[in-house]
Every structure is written in structure tokens, then in C-alpha cells.
Chains A and B, each alone.
Chain A
Amino acid sequence: MILYGILFILGALFIIPFLWIILTSFKPESQIVALPPRWLPHPVTLENYTRALIRVPFLIYAKNTFIVAIFSTIGVLLSSSLVAYSLSRLNWPDRDLLFYIVVGTLMIPGQVMMIPVFVLFKNLGMVNTLYPLIIPAFFGNAFFIFLLRQFFLTLPQDLFDAARIDGASELRCFATIAMPLSKPALLTVIIFACLGAWNDFMGPLIYLSSEEMKTLALGLQSLKFQYNTEWGLLMAASSLMTVPVIIAFFFAQRYFIEGITLTGMKH
């Protein structure tokens, strides 16, 4: 029972700010800046939401965001797991060197590579399309490579040895042993990759300029200005952008648990 107590307190602390976003999104502007802070909107108003949906072509943004999220997640999952496998379960010279280089690239602030990569895509004629946001995903992502490599390292060697003795090719080992056993990690990768694409701001900011191409993150930014942030609108848009992810996570999270029980014991 103490457990529940702690959880409730922590949970409350964590969820209150988010509740604040939701509640504020239903408040008329006059109640947002009030002293003392009001909790419940009274009256509840949908005007922030209607303004958010009308002011910005929300559905188009959502469509674009979905496209980027789905394709880049697939790309990153395939490529990163392949590379992570080679960096953990195979033994070859330069393996560790490549690993250090890959991790090293994480240390480079994105701004440094921004312009040269932009020029590259411009020469390929892909500015103002969704390609620059999707294509790099198929070449691996250092963060996920790192994560999966750490995870693959914990898999027992004997499973692989047994399979190799039986004549399985490396690809076979990868696909039928490593991947299924890594469901929790893979699901984590999927969650993070989707999330990253959903919330990505700098990428769309650089490459997308016309309305039909923009993503949600870009749309959200356009609601915040230097002097007059319209809080209600911002909160409503944030809610619209966040709630689908939460619902998706809530369900994915179930598979996450199921995945553990299905794969059974590791040994």
C-alpha cells in the first residue's frame, strides 16, 4: 500500500503540469492569466480548439507527420538493428573503432552538419519535400545503434553458437534469434523513433516551406510569437499534438508487456 501512496504522489506531480495544459486549453483567455490560478475552466470553451484547427491546416500537417513518422521508423529500425548486430555479435577488426565513431557522431551538434546536408539535398532537388526527413533514417541512427548494441550484448552466446553449428547463416541468426529476443528494445526503438519524427522541429524548419508540406511541430511553433503568446491556442494545439501519441503509447505499451511474456524465458 505504501507503494500506491508513493506512486500516487509522484504520479500527481508528474501529471499535474500536463493536466494544466489540457485544462488551460479549455479556458477562455481571461481565465488563463488569473490570480490565484484557477484550476477548472468555467465556462468550458472550445474556442481554442476551433481556432487551432481553423487557423492551421491541422489535418494536412498531421498527414505529413504520419508519413514521416512511419517511414523513418521503419528505416531506422531495419538499418540500426543490422548495424548493432554486427557491432555486438560479430567479431571483426575495426568493429570497436566503428562503434566509437558511430557514438562519436552523437556528440556533434546538429547545427554543424545542417548547412552541408541541406546543400546536398538541394542539389538532389529534394527541398520542400518529405524526403530529407525520411531518407537519412535508412542509413542508421547512432542513438539506436548504441541502444540495440548494448541490448544485443546481453543475449547469451550459446544460442548463437548452437545455431551456427547447425549451419545457420548470420542473417538467419539475426532474424530468427536476435530480433525476436529483443522485442522490448525494438519496441523502445519504435517508440522513440516515432516520437522523434513526430516532434522533430529543426528538420522540418529547414526543409519544408510550403503549407502542404509542413508537419505538426512546425505548425505548433507558428503559434508562439515573441510578444504575444496566445496561451490558450498554444495549449490546445499542444494537446492535439500530444494526445494521439499518448493513446498510441498506452496501447503499444500493452504489446510491450505481452512481448515479454510471449518470448518466454531467455535461457
Chain B
Amino acid sequence: MRTFPVFLVVLLLLVSLPGNAGEQLITFWNTFGTGPPKKAVDDLVVRFNEQNKGTWRVELLDVMAMEQKILTATAGGVAPDIALFDRFRIAAFAERGAFRDIKNLYPRMDLKPEDFFPPCFQECVYKNGVYALAFNTDVRVLFYNRKLFREAGLDPDRPPKNWTELRQYAEKLTVWDEKKYLRRMGFSPIHGNSWLYLYGWQKGGSFVRDEGKKITFTDPKIVAALQWMKDICDFYGIEEMDRFATGFGAEAFYPFLSEKCAMDCQEGYLLSMIRRYKPELDFMVAPMPWPEDGVHATWSGGFALVFPVGSKNFKGGLEFGKFLVSKESQVYYGKTSEQIPALIEAAHDDYFMNDKCWRVFIDEMNYSLFRPVSPIGDLMFDQLSRACDFTIHKKLTPYQALAQAEKECQAEYNRIQKKYHYPLISWSRTLPWLILPLALFLVLRLIRSFRIVRQSRLLRRDMVNGYLFSLPVLVGLALFTVGPIFVSILFSFCNYDILTPARWVGFENFRRLITEDPLFYKSLQNTVIYTLMSVPFGLLTALGLALLLNWEFRGRSIFRTLFFIPSVIPLVAASVLWLWLYNGEYGLINHMLGKVGIRGLNWMLDEHLAKPAIVLMGIWTVGGGMIICLAGLQGIPRHLQEAAQIDGANAWQRFIHITIPMLSPTLFFLIIMGFIGSFQIFTQAYVMTDGSGAPQDATLFYVFYLYRQGFTYFNMGYASAMAWFLVIIIAIVSYLQFKFSSRWVYYGG
């Protein structure tokens, strides 16, 4: 039995050894998770491996959260040779030198920039370098339901051609029920795949100028576009629109398919969904209508193949890349994945051109723009989404919202440019400054300990044993906690984006945090409110349940398991589950509320309800705390209770004077841990709001914002500064709690 673990470890090692000498390995990371695109990629890998047997072999890996994995892999020196990457994010990584420049390698692969659709190629270009091979693309068009057109008295062969018509048609196609609930929307500018980018460009506006150096969200045309979006939303009433939208599903239950939306702005994926789930749908596609005083425009996004710096087999990666963008592969990819290939020649294959729908898509590529290629691409997208969110929910006017977004983005952009003016950190000069004081501190403490303990043999024995027993944690602290902590303290004084060397900026991060970042305060506020709600309620529930389950009765173990189960469910699954329960249309909770006559609430979309919703979910998972309370309750000596009973104390008195005090160390533990834990809430918010912090920042919690700053916007230094603020706050509060603990916590021993 004892040799089993050893055997397992050896097996593991054997399994992890590299195999297959002779062929050169090409590591390829794929980001398409399921469905036809994944199948297409899988097939292409198999095909390449067959054609190149003996020379190359592609090892395919399906990767979630590609950006973060590439980040850590590149930083850790284990980057793949080639990877599928969201084109829109390439600039941010290229800025930090994460990808190889392949501009001069195009001729070697028999490729020219003109071979690809302009928006596809252009998104791979950054500051005179080309950092990827465009692989696939999408483009936004108008889908419209011909049957619904007929029902509303509209000509099914005459889709709206401009904004005025779009609005008119939308209003005609909208259906309400007798209780004033929406049953069908004509058109929603905030659902589907349009985004403010589309309308802004159609109006003729520009989001940036000077090759991205100047952010111009407040361009009057863009403001007008946002206003137009808001006007349409006002027609429906935004609360009702939000509620209705929670009933939108995916795949077969996508609103256009279930006819909840008569018109939709979407890309090719919708086409493949219709053909898969509802081929009998009578619909057609057309160019997205543009304003009379505007421009025929749409936009594309997609994926490209990147070649991370530091990969082992760049040459092999290039070979595979060349294969993937060859006409044959691109046509195969297009047909199998039901997406548009980036290679123009492949997109003009008969398969696409002979299909009346695909033809429209391919044609629209001539008018297609692309999101500004910028290292702050993600930030701009987030800020614009936020601006729309606030405008449409009537918190700000279009101009105000866009001005705020513009200010944030411009500041961040300037910061990135200014970065190079700051000095690099020399590790050999700075680390000694950290290590020496620490070592000195330790030595001094040890000397002090020896002095104190010199008199008593008993004390000395305790001290030696004390240090010995604590050895594991002392070493562990040094290696896994204190060491990294000091390094991260260093980072908080730097501008560090993991991929490029850190630069010293002094107190800049802290200053910015306090004076220039409204989200810092908002996220802090959100977190505090959440903590104040979840810790007391959670504790009371845990204690209450534990008390109930401490009594002797039949089936006690079943109930214990029952209450514990929710805390065992993986947090991701639990978050998804509760998102489902809170659903405005299909959710169980609204369904039950409806039975008692309460109109459905927009749980996760209402800024006042979102936090309580998450608190409720937290209470559901309180099983862990319940177990700890149970263990504590079991530890209360029976005879104390009996003695009190004999003396005539009733249940409540016994509870107050015996149970609570004896349980107080446990309760104290739970309070501290509960506080610390809820201050770090992350997963639920991330999963339930898709990483956005909607509605209107109500679920933007502190650690969540920290994570976003560090891993989405690459401001690791800034994120570290935020982390240290958190530490200080928690330290102060915990210290206060400990100080007061002597008043009410009673240690029986």
C-alpha cells in the first residue's frame, strides 16, 4: 500500500516524458472550443500531419482563456509555436514584444498582404510590423425574418435601407402581450453583434485619429449614433428590454431563431445556427442599414495565427501557418466551419458565391472596417460598452458617457507611451535592498528570543520546539508567500506588463489609484457593501443550521449532507446555475415569484438587485461554515450544559451563556475568514456578468477590477498597487477585530 503512491509518481513521470523522436514537434494552441470551427481545425491538423509524416507533427492543444495562457506561457518561457489569437488583441501583445514580426516572411510563404481581406490583414499590422497571419473573419449584416415582415404588412423582399426605415420597421414588428410584457422586439441595437462601433462608423465618425494616438469618442457623429441607439431603447423601455433579454438563449434558443427578435445584426455564426436548428426559417440577409447622411459601413473581427516569441520551433510554426492559410485549407475551413476564410480567393469559392446568403456577407467585406489597432483595444471596447450601458440606463447623457470613456482611454494610451521614459529596474541592485533588511530582522528577532528565554529551561524548550514545529510554515512562507510578496511590492512601484522589463515609476501607481481612478472607489464600495451583507447573513445561517443539526434525531446525517452539498459544487457550475435561476424569463425564481403575483425582477441586470442576488447565492454555499460550526459545537463539553440545566437555566440562557462563549473561537475564525474571503470575491462576479461588472458597475468588485487591470490591460504594476491597498485595508480591519476579540472570545483551555 505504501508503494502505491511511489508507483503512481513514477507512472506520472513516464507519462510526461516527450515522445516520438525524429519528427519535429510543432505545438499549436487552438481557441475554438466546440462546434464546426473546432472540427475544421482538428481536421486540418490531421491533414497536415498526414501530409508531413516523418518531418513535422503538430500537437494540438485546446486552450481556454487564450490571452492569459499565452501571457503566462510567454513569461514562463513555454510558449507554443503557433496559436489562434483574437485579432483585436494582437496590438496589445505586439506592443509588448510578445509576438514575432513576420512582415518579411510573407514573400517566403508565397503570400502578399493583398491576398487577405483588408480588415483582416490590417488588424495584424502594428507600428510597421506584421504580427500574424489572418485566419478567418466575420462581418456584420442584417438578418430579417420574412414571415414576420409579411405578418406586419411589410414587403419581405424589401429590407430597411436606412436608419429611419430600420426604426420604422422595428416599431411595426414589435409585439406586446396584454400584460405589457414584450413578446417580440423588432430590432435591438444593444443585442446581437453591432456595438457602438457599427453605428458610429455608419454615421461617418472616427473613434481615433493620428494613427491611434488621439482618442476621439466625443466626435459629434459618434455622439449622434449613441443617441440614436438610446432612442430606440427608449421606445421599448429599458427595464422591460433588459427583462426580456434575459430570456435569450444560445444555439437553438437564440432570439432570432425563436422569433423573439424580428431583425438582428449578426455575423455568419447565426447563419450556421439557423441552418442547423431551424432550416425552415424564412429569412434573408441584407447590408446593415446606414443613415441617409452616413456611410455604407460594417465591421469585421476574427482570428489570426500568431507566433509567440521564445517558442521552440518557429520554423515549424511557420510551415503549419502557411498550410493553414493556403487556398485549399482556407476553402476547407470555410466550408466545414461555416465561417468566412480570411483569404480572399478562398472566400470567392463557389461554395460561398453560389449561396444567396453568403454572397451578401462576402460582398459586405468590401465595406467592412475594423476596430482600431491599438494596445488599449480591450480598454476601448470595455469603456465604450460601459458608456452605452450608462447612457441607455439614463445615468449619463451620450456626450457625458463618451467623454468619460475618452478621457480614460486617452490617459491610458498616454501612459503606455510615457512608459519608455521611466528607468528600467536593475534586479541586482534592488533585490539586496529587500533581502538584507529581512535577514537582519530575522536575526534580530532570534537574538531577542534567545535573550528572553535564557532564564527558564521550560521556556527555552518551548522556544526550540516552537521554531521546530513551525519550520514547515517558515520555509513555505519564504518560498511561496513572503518572497513573491516582496517581489510584488516591488512591482507596485513599477510599470510592469509581464512581457517587457519592469520600469520604476515610484509612487505613480498609488497616486493614480487615489486621485484619478473613480473605479477604485466604486469597486471598493461594492466590495464593502457586499461584505457587510454576506458575512453576517452567512454566519447566522451557518450557525442556525449547525444548531439545528446538532440535536440528536433520526436522519441527521442526511440533512447534514444535504446542506453541505451546495458548497461542494464547483463555483463555476454554481455561478452558472444561479445565473440560470435568476433568469428574467425562464428562471425558477421569477417563476415562483410570478405564482405569488410579483412581477419578474431583473436580478442580474438591475444594479440594486445584483449584489443581493450574489449574496443569496453565497448563503446557499454556506455548508462549509456550517461544518466548522458543527465541529465547534461538538467540542463543547456536554457536562457544562447538563450542569446549567440542573441549575435551572432554560434553552435560551444556555445558548447565550454557554454555547456562544464556548463557540466564540470558532465564530471568530468564521468572521475573520468570512470577511477576508468576501473581500476577495471574484469567480461569481466574473462568471455571472461575463467579466464586465455590469449592471453599471454594480458587480465590479475589488479583486475583479484588480484582475482586469493586471491581466486584461496588462497593468501588473498598477494591479499590484491595488493588491497592496487591499492588504492594508484587510490588515487594519483584522487587527481591530483581533483587538476586540479579547472582549468577547473565550478560550476554554
Give me the interface of A with B, judged by CB distance under 8 Å. Answer: 3-4, 6-7, 10-11, 14-18, 20-21, 29-30, 33-37, 67, 70-71, 78-80, 82-83, 85-87, 90-95, 97-98, 100-109, 111-120, 122, 127-130, 136, 138-140, 143, 145-147, 150-157, 170-171, 174, 184-185, 187-188, 191-192, 195, 199, 201, 205-206, 209-213, 217, 220-222, 224-231, 234-235, 237-238, 241-242, 245-246, 249-250, 253-254, 257, 260, 265-267
Which of these binds chain A: B119-127, B350-358, B372-380, B629-637?
B629-637
Residues of B within 8 A of A93 (CB): 445, 448-449, 452-453, 463
Which parts of B650-680 form the interface with A (CB within 8 Å)? 662, 665-666, 668-669, 672-673, 676, 679-680
Complex Cα gap A87–B465 (Å): 11
Per a CB cutoff under 8 Å, which of A79, A206, A217, A222 touches B72? Answer: A206
Residues of A within 8 A of B634 (CB): 184, 260
Complex Cα gap A68–B305 (Å): 34
Cβ contact within 8 Å between B557 and A109: no
Residues 508-535 of chain B, each 1 if its beta carbon lies under 8 Å from chain A, else 0: 0000000000000000000000000000
Could you list 20 further interchain pairs (A-B, Cβ under 8 angstroms) beyond the known A3-B548, A249-B561?
A: A11-B562, A14-B562, A21-B577, A33-B586, A35-B585, A86-B470, A105-B477, A107-B730, A108-B727, A113-B485, A118-B72, A139-B472, A139-B473, A146-B669, A154-B635, A170-B461, A199-B568, A227-B250, A230-B34, A267-B639
Per a CB cutoff under 8 Å, which of B62, B557, B680, B703 touches A222? Answer: B62
Cβ contact within 8 Å between A130 and B12: yes
Per a CB cutoff under 8 Å, which of B16, B247, B472 touches A79? Answer: B472
Cβ contact within 8 Å between A230 and B251: yes
Per a CB cutoff under 8 Å, which of A90, A187, A213 touches B16? Answer: A213
Which of these binds chain A: B128-136, B153-161, B232-240, B620-628?
B620-628
Closest Cβ of chain B to A166, distance in Å, is 15
Residues of B within 8 A of A37 (CB): 586-588, 591
Q: Give the nearest-CB partner of A156 in chain B.
A: B749
Number of residues from B at the complex interface, CB < 8 A: 130
Closest Cβ of chain B to A178, distance in Å, is 11
Complex Cα gap A186–B485 (Å): 29
Q: Give the nearest-CB partner of B677 in chain A.
A: A106
Q: Does B106 count as interface, using CB distance less than 8 angstroms? A: no
Cβ contact within 8 Å between B251 and A228: yes
Per a CB cutoff under 8 Å, which of A115, A119, A184 touches B635? Answer: A184
Interface SS of chain A: helix
Cβ contact within 8 Å between B72 and A115: yes
Q: Does B69 count as interface, using CB distance less than 8 angstroms? A: yes
Residues of B within 8 A of A130 (CB): 12
Q: Does B75 count as interface, using CB distance less than 8 angstroms? A: yes
Cβ contact within 8 Å between A86 and B469: yes
- Whether A217 contacts B570 in the complex (CB less than 8 A), given A83-B473, A105-B477, A115-B498, comes out as yes
Residues of A within 8 A of B666 (CB): 150-151
Closest Cβ of chain A to B622, distance in Å, is 9
Complex Cα gap A30–B257 (Å): 13
Per a CB cutoff under 8 Å, which of A111, A146, A225, A246 touches B565? Answer: A246
Cβ contact within 8 Å between B719 and A185: no
- Whether A6 contacts B548 in the complex (CB less than 8 A), given A86-B469, A101-B477, A112-B488, comes out as yes
Per a CB cutoff under 8 Å, which of A217, A224, A253 touches B560? Answer: A253
- Whether A20 contacts B16 in the complex (CB less than 8 A), given A107-B726, A188-B628, comes out as no
Cβ contact within 8 Å between B748 and A156: yes
Q: Does B462 count as interface, using CB distance less than 8 angstroms? A: yes
Q: Give the nearest-CB partner of B16 in chain A.
A: A129
22 A/B residue pairs, CB under 8 Å, sorted by A = A17-B581, A20-B577, A20-B588, A86-B469, A90-B463, A92-B462, A92-B465, A94-B449, A97-B445, A108-B723, A111-B710, A112-B488, A112-B723, A116-B488, A122-B77, A138-B476, A139-B476, A139-B480, A199-B571, A220-B570, A224-B687, A241-B573
Complex Cα gap A157–B749 (Å): 6
Complex Cα gap A171–B564 (Å): 35
- Whether A30 contacts B252 in the complex (CB less than 8 A), given A93-B463, A106-B676, A154-B665, comes out as yes
- Whether A111 contacts B12 in the complex (CB less than 8 A), given A94-B449, A136-B476, A201-B572, comes out as no
Complex Cα gap A154–B734 (Å): 21
Interface SS of chain B: helix
Cβ contact within 8 Å between A107 and B727: yes
Cβ contact within 8 Å between A91 and B727: no
Per a CB cutoff under 8 Å, which of A6, A90, A113, A221 touches B466? Answer: A90
Cβ contact within 8 Å between A254 and B557: yes
Complex Cα gap A238–B568 (Å): 10
Cβ contact within 8 Å between B459 and A92: yes
Q: Give the nearest-CB partner of B463 in chain A.
A: A92
- Whether A201 contacts B561 in the complex (CB less than 8 A), given A108-B727, A116-B484, A266-B635, comes out as no
Cβ contact within 8 Å between A229 and B250: yes
Closest Cβ of chain B to A73, distance in Å, is 12
Per a CB cutoff under 8 Å, which of A71, A90, A101, A156 touches B469? Answer: A90
Complex Cα gap A4–B265 (Å): 55
Residues of A within 8 A of B731 (CB): 104, 107
Closest Cβ of chain A to B658, distance in Å, is 13
- Whether A90 contacts B465 in the complex (CB less than 8 A), given A112-B488, A115-B498, A150-B669, comes out as yes
Complex Cα gap A242–B632 (Å): 26
Residues of B within 8 A of A7 (CB): 548, 559
Per a CB cutoff under 8 Å, which of A17, A109, A127, A146 touches B78? Answer: A127
- Whether A111 contacts B707 in the complex (CB less than 8 A), given A30-B252, A222-B64, A234-B573, comes out as yes
Per a CB cutoff under 8 Å, which of A83, A111, A211, A229 touches B719? Answer: A111
Closest Cβ of chain B to A100, distance in Å, is 8
Per a CB cutoff under 8 Å, which of B5, B62, B480, B703 touches A71? Answer: B5
Residues of B within 8 A of A79 (CB): 472-473, 476
Cβ contact within 8 Å between B561 and A29: no
Complex Cα gap A176–B577 (Å): 45
Q: Does B475 count as interface, using CB distance less than 8 angstroms? A: yes
Cβ contact within 8 Å between B568 and A242: yes
Complex Cα gap A209–B673 (Å): 32
Q: Does B26 count as interface, using CB distance less than 8 angstroms? A: no
Interface centre among B445, B449, B459, B477 (most CB of A within 10 A): B477
Cβ contact within 8 Å between B620 and A17: yes
Cβ contact within 8 Å between B566 and A18: yes
Q: Does B536 count as interface, using CB distance less than 8 angstroms? A: no
Residues 548-579 of chain B, each 1 if its beta carbon lies under 8 Å from chain A, else 0: 10010100010111111110111111001110
Which parts of B47-85 form the interface with A (CB within 8 Å)? 61-65, 69, 72-73, 75-78
Q: Give the nearest-CB partner of A30 in chain B.
A: B252
Top 9 A-B pairs, shortest CB-CB distance: A139-B476, A86-B469, A140-B473, A92-B466, A113-B484, A116-B484, A238-B573, A79-B472, A107-B730
Complex Cα gap A135–B706 (Å): 27
Residues of B within 8 A of A95 (CB): 466
Residues of A within 8 A of B588 (CB): 16, 20, 37
Per a CB cutoff under 8 Å, which of B559, B563, B585, B637 touches A267? Answer: B637
Cβ contact within 8 Å between A67 and B690: no
Residues of A within 8 A of B250 (CB): 227-229
Cβ contact within 8 Å between B470 and A242: no
Complex Cα gap A114–B720 (Å): 11
Q: Give the nearest-CB partner of A122 in chain B.
A: B76
Complex Cα gap A176–B581 (Å): 50
Residues of A within 8 A of B247 (CB): 35
Residues of A within 8 A of B730 (CB): 107
Complex Cα gap A93–B72 (Å): 41
Q: Does B580 count as interface, using CB distance less than 8 angstroms? A: yes
Closest Cβ of chain A to B494, distance in Å, is 13
Cβ contact within 8 Å between A225 and B33: yes
- Whether A118 contacts B631 in the complex (CB less than 8 A), given A3-B553, A10-B545, A156-B749, comes out as no
